[in-house]
Homo-oligomer: A and B are copies of this chain.
């Protein structure tokens, strides 16, 4: 007997028929002898409906009242789910975030869970009941309702798995699992059977369509085994879990790309302490989130006016923030003494990710050779322990993904 948390997203409970299907699934797990806690999102479209009413009354709604409003969406889902379970002859009880003991901070609209006191859930599980819990919500020290922000139901599920020492956290969604790359770009993309937390975090742009990435972090911190799978199919999905020796046999787990960034480069910047801090300080003060940061070893001869060496400094920002970042750097560039500021928003970032690359030599080399063979030039390269990212011209993005997917034989199940 295992204790299982099952989370169903809004698309999995979009109408009464789907809710019945979800109830059947939960009851089936129960009948296999498991303890089952189900976390539900609002029915698809419901949150938007509520938000549009709120905006119709107030363009700048108070977060506390908005939370009171939005929290009803998940409350409707759990009640309907419970009614569906009951019509299958199953004993069930539903709890709002408050009743489930999910205590958060006061940050309405994006509250963080402080602690969970799942006394009532445990009592009902002990009585042999299925328990349904409203995702996305909790309560603060005043007893006010709070919501956890985007993807909050995933966080609820994983946090409950931690609090209840669950054996498994199942994230049911409308896709089969995590894929080696975006199937729309590469038809050979294959569902990954097992992926480490770290890989999942590095593959954020693939994974975040499926699961909120902060909740993967939470799962990693507490060693919660997560199974991402399709809500209305029986096939196995992707397990997200601790790295194991099996995983290390594969150098690359997946290929990901993003075309939503732009590059800013400061040319011939004096290579001295505090310059990088100054540049990034300005950018972050403007509320711009920087992704890659690359500073080369000085490539110029030390002939600067003050006798210092010079270097090039590049970073990437979300494409929407690009004009602002360029403007900021043009001002700052004079002060810092950069020779020139250049930028490019016609770029793509291609990354390969895998814990196996730690032990496999030549992964980077194969990546660069593959891209070179396709005539793709690299404008920036950045690496972490389990990831290599390159900036290339945007038009080559899909070609690069397909070439790398082939080169690393990702179509072969590992």
Contacts and interface: CB of A to CB of B under 8 A. Distances in A.
Interface in A314-348: none
Chain A interface, >50% SS class = helix
A205 interface: no
A326 B78 CA distance: 45
Contacts of A79: 54, 65-66, 68-69, 72
Interface stretch (A83-91, A258-266, A295-303, A400-408): A83-91
A353 to B, nearest CB: 42
B56 A82 contact: no
Interface in A62-103: 62, 64-66, 68-69, 71-72, 75-76, 78-80, 82-84, 86-87, 92-94, 96, 98-99
Given A57-B80, A62-B82, A68 B87 contact: no
Contacts of A84: 57-58
A243 interface: no
The number of chain A residues touching the other chain, given as a range, is 35 or more
A84 B79 CA distance: 28
A366 interface: no
Which among A69, A86, A144 has the highest number of chain B CB atoms within 10 Å? A69
A61 interface: yes
A80 B94 contact: no
Nearest to A76: B72
Contact of A72 (B53, B72, B93, B143): B72
A82 B68 contact: yes
A397 interface: no
Contacts of A69: 75-76, 79-80, 83
A321 to B, nearest CB: 30
Given A68-B75, A93-B64, A57 B19 contact: yes
A133 to B, nearest CB: 12
Contacts of A72: 72, 75-76, 79
Contact of A83 (B58, B71, B80, B96): B58
Interface string A37-57: 000000000000010011011
A20 interface: yes
A286 interface: no
Nearest to A142: B120
Contacts of A82: 62, 65, 68
Contacts of A289: none
Contacts of A62: 82-83, 86
A227 to B, nearest CB: 27
A16 interface: yes
8 contacts: A20-B57, A54-B79, A57-B80, A58-B87, A61-B86, A68-B82, A69-B75, A72-B72
Closest 7 CB pairs of A and B: A69-B79, A72-B72, A58-B87, A68-B79, A58-B83, A65-B82, A57-B83
Given A58-B84, A62-B82, A69-B83, 10 more contacts: A19-B57, A53-B80, A57-B84, A57-B87, A64-B93, A65-B83, A65-B86, A68-B96, A72-B79, A99-B143
